[in-house]
Amino acid sequence: MCGITGWVSFEKDARSQTPVIEAMTATMARRGPDAGGSWLGAHAALGHRRLSVIDPVGGAQPMAHAHAVLSYSGEIYNHDRLRAELRLLGHEFHTRSDTEVLLRGYLEWGEDVVHHLEGMFAFAIWDARAERLLLVRDRLGVKPLYWARIEGGLAFGSEPKALFAHPELSPRVDAAGLREAYSLLFNTGPTLWAGVREVQPGGLLTIGRDGVGERLYWSLEAHPHPHDLEATIERVRALLSGAARAQLAADVPLCSLLSGGLDSTLVTALAADELRRTEGPRARLRSYAVDYRDQAERFTGDVLRTGHDTPFATEAGAFIGTDHSTVVLDPLTLLDPEHRRAVVVARDSPIGVGDMDTSLYLLFGEIARHSTVALSGEAADEVFGGYPWFHAPQALAAPTFPWLLVTGDEAAMPLDPGLSAVLRIGEFRADTYRDALAAVPHLDGEDAHEHRLRELQHLSLTRWLRQLLHRKDRLSMAQGLEVRVPYCDHRLVEYAFSAPWTLKGHDGREKSLLRSAGAGLAPGSVLLRPKNHYPATHHPDYNRGLQQLARDALPAVQGLADESRIKSCLDTPAEELQWGHRLRLERVVDLALWLDHYRPAITF
């Protein structure tokens, strides 16, 4: 896992711009603490920061061979198989790295290399013979990749901060960017930052002397499902087992995130079984959970959480046989301005989930002291229908994005009335929703109820999931930790997306298909446990401290936030502060930190 950056310009000679590529690359140092490098040619410059995971000696980047130069972030899980295939085609290899496999794959297949890859990745290849830059992002968008126009070409980077180190680019925000951020629709392409765009998941972008071209090489499709319930359960287990097995490949210490929920428990169990199979019966996988001081005594359920995670995580670790640890955080540590600033800078955005982001960042920091790679249960809810909106009549009937029924205006930072009138977020949401539904594939013979559920799953996989993957990537990489997501294996996603909901919910519960596929892998209490979101502290002292931080932040957010509506949250007794109103305050604090760090030029 790494950070990549660079640019192409047909108007300027890049070979005299060493300080620029070094500055851009330096912004990625936390993503790649182990090594860095750069390459400059007449029209292109590529930079790279490396977190060494596979072949620490042989995988240095940027890597050049023949007429191509590569800067790459991520992991190609089938690199051994591709290496063998390329050898049969006449290629000679000098390293064990997946980087060299990707580079030689491009030399053999060109852009079509993307169809051979299984993994999470974002990469840039400069083809000197064709005078063309290729940017590619993995199918689900696990790895980020941004770009912006410059004179005679474009600049790119794993994060927007890399772009802002280029002398032609600076942090600017306009009404369109604020609308993207505060609508909570998670569009891919346009971003908060004016002039900065994302390469789409499953997309590739090229730039040459004839201009810029973009296209998708992968998207979700609906196909008739070929199996009955028993065969579907068997196939899901086989696909998930294969994904977990493939994602254990590493030359560095590896662990698993184990919350005690169904999703992470099944991934952990499959990984632990594979580790014992390959390394012997005494091999033990490390696993980690997070908790807060006094959480057992102070936990109260809310719209996102029904129970305390730690007992379930401990039981699951014992059942599976992992070397399990619980990282216990002091809730007051989450108020530390330096921790919060680090999180905002990692995100490059004021939009987050407050204490849950800070605690995840601190959890990853603790894990990174012992492991370089972690497996995660992210995406199972989107793939198998775990969210309440898949099962609630209100969500099925609502003509809007389903998460807005849970995390909409009640939890959003209230905008200044003048800004709100300019942004017209309600209209933007309605227009975007219509466009989003138009992108959902249809299956012949599908009834209205089945198609509505397909719509909700498509929205979840192509929008809601993307912000969760952003969050996990940014906060883990800011601590030098690579997080892998087996549920994002595109073959598993494709198979589950085409399975009818009569199979996905065959026993009347959420994620029925996954529960059945996981039989025997988890204790009964976990297999039957309802969906529980990432834990948040319930300590009133945290609420009091947050209220004070928000009070101090108010002067900095004038003209952007509605001060009168925020003050009502400040006047609420700390013990009575509800989750949605607390998140409002979190976003006020983060907005002030973001403004102070980036000092963006804002126009609307």
The residues that are catalytic are: 2
Q: Are 511 and 262 in contact (CB under 8 A)?
A: yes
The residues near 280 (Cβ < 8 Å, ≥ 6 apart) are none
CA distance 453 to 139: 22
**Measured distance between the N- and C-terminal CA atoms of the chain, rounded to whole angstroms:** 37
CA distance 535 to 529: 15
Q: Are 442 and 585 in contact (CB under 8 A)?
A: no
Q: Are 100 and 93 in contact (CB under 8 A)?
A: yes
Please choose, from the candidates 245, 237, 520, 255, the residue with its C-alpha nearest in 3D space to the C-alpha of residue 384.
237
Please choose, from the candidates 22, 7, 34, 382, the residue with its C-alpha nearest in 3D space to the C-alpha of residue 201.
382
For helices 337-347 and 465-477, angle between their N-to-C axes, nearest 10 degrees: 120
- With vertex at residue 194, the alpha carbon angle to CA 192 and CA 196, rounded to the nearest 5 degrees, is 80
Residue 190 zone, left/alpha/beta (φ > 0; ψ -120 to 50; rest): beta
Strand partners, 601: 172
CA distance 46 to 153: 14
CA distance 19 to 24: 9
Q: Are 141 and 188 in contact (CB under 8 A)?
A: yes
